Amino acid sequence: MTTPTRIEAVKDAIADSGAAALEGLEVPIVEGGRVLFVYEGRAEGVWLHHWIFGLESAQEFLRTHPDVWTLELEVQAAARVEYKLEVQENGERKLILDALNPAVARDPFATNSVVTGPDYTTPWWAVEDRSRRQGVILERQLQSEVFDDVRPLSIYLPPRYRVTHRYPLLVVHDGLDYLRYAAFKTVVDNLIDLGEIPPMVVCFIQSPDRVHEYAASGQHADFLATELLPLLEDEFSLEAGPENRALMGASFGGVASLHASLQHPGVFGRLLLQSGSFAFTDIGSHERGPLFDPVVAFVNGYRRAPVKPADRVFLSCGIYESLIVYNRTLLPMLQSVGVDATLVEAQDGHNWENWRDRLREGLSWLFPGHMWMVYE
């Protein structure tokens, strides 16, 4: 007689005794390559909504007991999936968090429930360790003639910053979001202390209109090269030369970084592009809406006549994103014009924790420290 799996035993217990079977259980239940989701409550229907490109986004639960619903799915060992539950009651549907799952991820727009495969763990280097030296963040303002407004800047200085020493510079698009949702300061503090990246100055910028300013805007590129960089060089002790200056960003922030490096060649020599929205159309229309029109025009133009944007480029993207195809296509194009480029793929989606989890590889690719790889 075959011994039932834990998931099978839980489903049988729910069928027999309903919600009482859930007492003391951590839900969802992950066992090997399977995961069991459970919803407790009155409903006319329950669905799991995820954002995995190429798969049916709504997976329907089965009623296992009058007020308990279950759904069993496959899960990859190293996968990380964000989701919500859709519950129908009195003919109306609403998206909610999974009340039985305490694991959540936040971003500027929403909070989602999270399930992970058995091999996924939050990177140890993304967890704050107060025993390590801590950098500081200063607040500044830039009176921009390009934008005719005032731009706030948050500037990270590494531990034991000295004006007698010179430092590489990293400029981060959507910088406040990286700080809030991707533990960026914690990551940089840890990696500098470990010697995996050198001490550096990091400037976090935020746009009041990112969907336009980051969409291959010449105005934004000019802001970076002709206003932001001179201000930072005047106030802080920075290494000269493009090999010591990097731009980074995620989604449209990746587009803005690549575009600015091409608009001002020889200024920024390192790029870290995460889930870049590098949409293009070889044939037909892109069907991504008018906000993508300038992006598609930029990428189409680059594909027709590629040139070297920087010496080193690190790309990362989740395989659950529709953008994975665009990023895979960009890699050989960059390499064909002499860029030292790499692409790291992850079993994750278009979200901040995916981008956080790739920071160690990305930052050490741009600026390797003297101890990089020693701790592996």
Looking up residue 214, the CATH number of its domain turns out to be 3.40.50.1820
Q: Give the residue among 282, 280, 281, 262 at the shortest CA–CA distance from 271.
A: 262
Same domain for 112 and 201: no
Task: Tell me the backbone φ, ψ of residue 123, rounded to 5 degrees.
Answer: -55, 135
Domain boundary among 62, 82, 116: 116
Domain span at residue 171 reads: 124-366
Cα–Cα distance, 250 to 352 (Å, whole number): 9
CATH of the domain at 111: 2.60.40.10
Q: Are residues 136 and 261 in the same domain?
A: yes
Q: Check residue 57 and give its pLDDT.
A: 86
Instruction: Name the domain boundary from 90, 116, 142.
Output: 116
pTM value surpassing 0.75:
yes
Interval 40-51 mean pLDDT: 95
**Residue at 274: amino acid letter:** Q
Nearest-angstrom CA–CA distance, 122 and 334: 31
Q: Is the pLDDT of residue 173 over 90?
A: yes
For residue 299, the one-letter residue type is V
Residue 212 lies in a domain: yes
Spatial CB neighbours of 186, under 8 Å, sequence gap ≥ 6: 126, 127, 128
Provide DSSP, 8-55. HHHHHHHHHHGGGGGTT--SSEEETTEEEEEEES--SEEEEEE--TTS
Query: Is residue 220 a part of any domain in this protein?
Result: yes
Please check whether residue 298 lies inside any domain of the structure.
yes
Q: Count of H helices and E strands in the chain?
A: 11, 18
Q: What is the mean pLDDT of residues 285-309?
A: 90
Q: What is the pLDDT of residues 251-273, one digit of tens each?
A: 999 999 999 999 999 999 999 99
Query: 342-370: b or e for each residue (b if 16 or more CB lie within 10 Å)?
Result: bbeebbbbbbbbbbbbbbbebbbbbbebe
pLDDT, tens digit, for every residue of 97-141?
999 999 999 988 889 999 999 999 999 999 999 999 999 999 999
Average pLDDT over residues 317-344: 97
CB burial of 300-312 (b: ≥16 within 10 Å; e: otherwise) equals eebeeeeeebbbb
Tokens for 256, please give them.
């803005």
284 band by pLDDT with thresholds 50, 70 and 90: low
The percent of residues in the chain predicted with pLDDT above 70, rounded, is 97
Q: Count CB atoms within 10 A of the CB of residue 246.
A: 28
Per-residue pLDDT for 372 more than 90? no
Assign 188 to helix, strand or coil.
helix
Q: What are phi and psi of 9, to 5 degrees?
A: -65, -40
What percent of the chain has a predicted confidence (pLDDT) above 90?
90
